[in-house]
Amino acid sequence: MATTKRTWLWVILGVMGTLFLVCIMLAGGAIYEFRRHVKNEYVERTVAEQEFSRQRDRFKGQQPLIEFVGREGYDNDDKTTIHRPSPGAPRAKINTLKVLIYDLHENHLIHVDVPGWLMRLMPNGRYGGWDDGGPPMIPGAYNDEFVRNRITIEDIERHGLGLVLDGHNRNTRILVWSE
């Protein structure tokens, strides 16, 4: 009888130890992937502007899917224009979504590479906003406009490879493109 109890104890400890190791490996893998796809550096504004110009030159003449410009005199009010492709446009497979962000106050230049497989894991393939059943952010028309302007992975794929978002306001510069 004592050996059966001891055996079950070792089995339970073994299962718990294995689960613990799996959790540690998953957390470590997530940290590794994050570090591999996100690069943050401090640079002067001129260096950041050169990087933005270099990347924009690659897409000369191409209209981005999303454009936003900060309105003068407003702190957090950006005018956004979305150039949605037609629903019948052919879809291009997106392998990577590249993001370049520069914070003018902190002098942070952030490079992010979002793998295509990770974008497809997003719920309903949607980015930004809440659906009708979600928590309200700000009551009124702002929520409705935010939900109406929601971008999906299909929108990005139908837009094709190239410039996805180009924008700036008083605090930030941002450029997003797909490859």
Query: Could you say which residues of the chain have pLDDT below 50?
Result: 125, 128-146
Show Cβ contacts of residue 117 under 8 Å, excluding neighbours closer than 6 positions.
none
What global pTM score does this model have? 0.70
Rounded Cα distance between 123 and 66, Å, is 21
Say if residues 147 and 130 touch (Cβ distance below 8 Å). yes
Mean pLDDT of the chain: 79
